[in-house]
Structure 1
Amino acid sequence: MNREIIIVAGPTAVGKTKYAIEIAKNFNGEIVSSDSMQLYKFMDIGSAKPTQEEQNQVKHYLVDEIDPREPFSVAEYQKRARDAIEQIFSKGKTPVISGGTGLYVNSLIYEMDFSAPPVGNEYRKKLENLAAKHGNEYVHQLLSKQDSEAAARIHPNNLKKVIRALEVAENSEQGIQPFEKSFVKTSDYAYKLIGLSRNREELYERINLRVDMLLDMGLVDEIKGLLDMGLTSDSISMKGIGYKEIIGYLNGEYDLEHAVYLVKRNTRHYAKRQITWFKRYDDIKWFNISEYNSDDEAVKEIITWLRENR
């Protein structure tokens, strides 16, 4: 049996769900989400979760499975996603990974160690306190000053890895290993990595339109319901873009118009970070959707490339 997964990656709003579904249909596949928000229950609108119609076309895993009130980690994602991949293989089908959370993708193609660093280090405690007081971005900026290359490849929200990198930078002039040498590729299966992109103007327009659409669908009411369930701005699940900004509006920090502006701006910034992240993979095959006359034409070329290269 061909133990090879297909990964469809790229920035938010580029169209990953639609393309992953078409790829899965062509390769007898089932989809495993690699999106850090779509896995939560009750968070349907803000996460732009695949619709029920889309999920009916192809079976999805790790969508609408986790209670947002419960803690969830990359390590837990890795375990659940790899279990799902093995389930799909056991059916004689192809696992198709779809999503834009870089750490989740990393956890599936690399042998990543998620064990917690040892406690008791005063420097580490200082950094953890700074993150708690000023936010993860603040500590990430400290890393940028110490080791700009490490900062470029580590997401600000991966606080443990940011702190580890700072510890190494503090005690060594060599910094931490380059991205491509940081992890050993998994031997559990092979993979083909597809990257979807669009011209910047088109992608940003799609992001802005999506935000407007999510608001029309009832994003504010969804977030009110989550707050009524006991979730707060401190909940990990509520720190996603679209949720944290609307919470600020509901808390009276600014009006709805400014909240919408923040969601659009922060989503565009996030998309830029995603593109930077995925461009570091030397084995990714990029397809710029903007260069095709239609989605059907782009899908056809992607399918052809996969058939020729699997």
Structure 2
Amino acid sequence: MTKKPLAVLAGPTAVGKTALSIKLAKALDCEIISGDSMQVYRGMDIGTAKITPEEQQGVPHHLIDIKDPREAFSVQEFQDRARILIDEIHSRGKLPFIVGGTGLYLNAVIYGYSFTEVQGNPEFREEMEAYAARFGNEALHRKLAKKDRKASESIHPNNVRRVIRALEVASFSDLSPNTPQSSEPRYHTALAGLTMERERLYGRINQRVDVMMNEGLVEEARHLYDMNIRNCQSVQAIGYKEMYAYFDGLISLEEAIISLKQNSRRFAKRQLTWFRNKMDVRWFDVTDGADQKEQEVKQFIEGKLF
């Protein structure tokens, strides 16, 4: 059976994916599927650098603002929704275009990942929560790494809820949630990645955080905090957990901003490591600006898919 074409644009945070994706989507007649695990949440716009309706410039976008911040969003749900969308977009005669930086999500769609339904185990979760409280989040994360190294690489140690769930699946299932059934891609995929000289990227990340602060990140996070949205997957995201620590009086606002910048830089490094080790990416260096590479990326996608 002929595989359906799929365009993908990946890369670390703040590298310039969003702006370039709009130009490519217009040129290639695409609909965009967000490949970001946090932009699914309503009311979390500034901290996730969510594309605005104006920035979308009429290009259809999917899997943005589909969840309440209290709800969980799993890799499996992303896989299911994205694959349905890919079929629907093709039925409209358009090219599906996944854009994002959550490597595990992209991998789950492109390849034949299967998931085992493991029921929640309250006793196990309480035991793991107690372990984390006693020995720390890093120790809990190391426990996961021993059980399922790949899962541990995609989850931040401070996202205790996700670490415990991954441990739960690894402990009570013969199949981990990110075990590929096949290394053969499900789609005829053109996977482009944007990269940048590290110091330039880190400078862009720091600048983006400053812009977020000016645009009202503190107020946005405070609204979620005042709604008593705690211990949820959404507010474990970078940008929100640092503000929550500030609201809890654990750190000053200045320290929260420093931590936010530092965590964002570390996240970008992890993203690049993931993409380079786990996925067959054609890289484009956009240190001198993404506009300089627009035609090259377009030609790469066209050459692969058309």
Are the structure 2 counterparts of residues 165 and 288 from structure 1 closer, same or farther at C-alpha, using a change threshold of 3 Å? farther
Q: Which moved more, 1:256-265 or 1:69-78?
A: 69-78
Q: CA deviation at 1:115?
A: 2.1
Q: 1:240 aligns with which of 215, 237, 245?
A: 237
Partner of 2:190: 192
Residues paired across the two proteins, number = 298
Residue 216 to residue 201, structure 1, CA distance change in 2 (3 Å) = same
* 3-state secondary structure, aligned to 1:204: helix
AA paired with 2:80? K
- 2:288 is aligned with 1:288: no
Query: For 1:64 and 1:267, how far apart are their aligned partners in 2?
Result: 22
C-alpha separation between the residues in 2 aligned to 1:9 and 1:130?
Answer: 35
- How far did 1:17 drift? 0.9
Choose which of 207, 210, 229 in structure 2 pairs with 1:209: 207
Q: Which residue of 1 aligns with 2:4?
A: 3
How far 1:132 moved relative to its partner? 6.8
Q: Supply the AA of the counterpart residue of 2:191.
A: L
Matches of 2:206 and 2:195, distance apart in 1: 16
1:57 Cα deviation after fit: 3.2
Q: Please give the root-mean-square deviation of Cα atoms over the aligned residues, in Å.
A: 3.1
The alpha carbon displacement at 1:114 in A equals 2.5
Which of 204, 224, 227 aligns to 2:225? It is 227
Match of 1:279, SS state, is helix
1:14–1:196 Cα contact (<8 Å) kept: yes
Write out aligned runs for 1:148-187 (5 A): 150=150, 153-156=153-156, 159=163, 160-161=165-166, 182-185=180-183
Which runs of no fewer than 5 residues in structure 1 stay unpaired? none
Aligned residue for 2:110?
109
- Matched AA of 1:265: Q
Report the Cα distance in structure 2 between the residues aligned to 1:2 and 1:225, rounded to whole angstroms.
Answer: 45
Opposite residue 304 of structure 1, the aligned amino acid is Q
Quick one: which amino acid aligns to residue 207 of structure 1? Answer: I
Cα deviation 1:153-196 (Å, max 9, x = unaligned): 5534553445666899xx9xxxx99x9x8442576532111111
State whether residues 245 and 259 of structure 1, in contact with CA within 8 Å, keep that contact through their aligned partners in structure 2: yes
> What is the match of residue 68 of structure 1?
69
State how far apart, in whole Å, the 1-side matches of 2:232 and 2:279 are: 35
Looking at structure 2, the residues matched to 89 and 148 of structure 1 have their Cα atoms a distance apart, in angstroms, of 35
Q: How far apart in 1 are the matches of 2:182 and 2:70? A: 33
Work out whether residues 231 and 238 of structure 1, in 8 Å CA contact, stay in contact via their aligned partners in 2: no
Aligned to 2:275: 278
Cα offset, 1:50, TM superposition:
0.4
Find the aligned partners of 1:154 and 1:276 in 2 and give their Cα distance: 11
Structure 2 equivalent of residue 305 of structure 1:
300
Letter in 2 for 1:299: E
Q: CA deviation at 1:46?
A: 0.6
1:208 is displaced (CA, Å) by 0.3
* Cα distance change, pair 102–41 in 1 and its aligned pair in 2 (3 A): same
Shift of 1:77: 1.6
The change in CA–CA distance for 1:123 and 1:187 in structure 2 (over 3 A counts) is same
1:213 maps to a residue whose letter is V
Give me the whole-angstrom Cα distance separating, in 1, the residues matched to 2:104 and 2:136: 19
Structure 1 residue 65: Cα displacement:
1.8
Q: Match of 2:77, as an amino acid? A: E
Q: Which residue of 1 aligns with 2:96?
A: 95
1:35 aligns with 2:25: no
How much does 1:81 deviate? 1.6
Residue in structure 2 matched with residue 264 of structure 1 by the alignment: 261
Secondary structure in 1 aligned to 2:249?
Answer: coil
- TM-score when normalising by structure 1: 0.84
Which is further off, 67-76 or 255-264? 67-76
Which deviations, in whole Å up to 9, do the C-alpha atoms of 1:114-139 show, x marking residues without a partner? 2234777x999855653576565432
Alpha-carbon distance in structure 1 between the residues aligned to 2:120 and 2:59: 44
- Do the aligned partners of residues 11 and 83 (structure 1) sit closer, same or farther apart at CA in structure 2, a change above 3 Å counting? same
Describe the SS at the equivalent of 2:260: helix
Aligned equivalents of 2:64, 2:82: Cα separation in 1: 11
